[in-house]
Amino acid sequence: MAWKVLIGLLAIAGGFCAVAYAATAPGGRSSGSERRAEPVRVPAVPRPARPRLTQHPAKLAVATTAQFGFAGRGGGLRFECRLDGSAWKRCRPPLQFAGLAPGRHSFSVRAVNRAGVRGAATRFRWRLLEPQAFSVVPLQSNVGVLYPGGPPSAAPVRIENPNPVRIYVTGLRVAVSADAPGCTAAENLALTGASVSAAAPLAVPAGGSVELPRPGATAPTIQLRDLPVNQDACQNARFPLRFAGSAHG
């Protein structure tokens, strides 16, 4: 069988150069086998794993703030967060929300890798309760005998928590709500609050109570100052006390 060799020539500066050829049989059939080009397969970029929550509020809470910590698996990740179905926004831990209203809340966080692929979200739901004020109940009808220059006298109290979650008392103060005849409290009395503070809070269980003084925490105290004036008017004086404080869930 005769073969024809077709040679395509392309004129270029300086001479001729063969740029393509094909051996064909009569009738235009190809004499050689042709391979179909295989499609290029681009490996899929894996989705990032769900982030792990390292910090979150309790399922039932009374604090109007909530702080979240989270971490991803692998490097080169960034995060997107949203609260209660709001728009996704770029975020980084720790992330705190403030001014939350009572009711049910939901927090979601997802990881995004360098290729922009977003992973499945991790979600946390909790319920914010309407906080109720704790009560301070005096445990004695009086704080004992006071005299000028004498040591402070403790005013034992019981702190009652009506909330269904634990609270942390961070301050407890005592004040005199009315003066005695001839004896003003501001001038003659030195009042000191309990030793609880934000750095050393007092935990009160849900629906429970705690008494002061106790190991590690003192009760409020009252002392009669020793003034360079006649303080006879303060003898047998009675002062109504008022307690106030602060706490968080």
pLDDT, one tens digit per residue, over 79-121 is 999 999 899 999 999 999 999 999 999 999 999 999 999 999 9
Q: Give whole-number Cα distances, 71 to 5, 68, 108, 155, 236, in Å.
A: 68, 10, 13, 48, 64
Cα torsion through 182, 184, 190, 192, rounded to 10: 130
Stated pTM of the model = 0.65
Provide the CATH topology of domain 52-128: Immunoglobulin-like (2.60.40)
pLDDT surpasses 50 at 151: yes
CATH code 2.60.40.10 region(s) in the chain: 52-128
What whole-number distance in Å separates Cα of residue 164 and Cα of residue 131? 9
Which residue shows structure tokens 């429970």? 208
Which residue shows structure tokens 């004992």? 144
Query: Between 212 and 3, whose confidence is greater?
Result: 212
pLDDT, one tens digit per residue, over 30-56 is 455 566 667 666 566 689 999 999 999
Per-residue pLDDT band at 9 (split at 50, 70, 90):
very low
pLDDT, one tens digit per residue, over 169-225 is 999 999 999 999 989 999 999 999 999 999 999 999 999 999 999 999 999 999 999
> Is 135-248 CATH 2.60.40?
yes
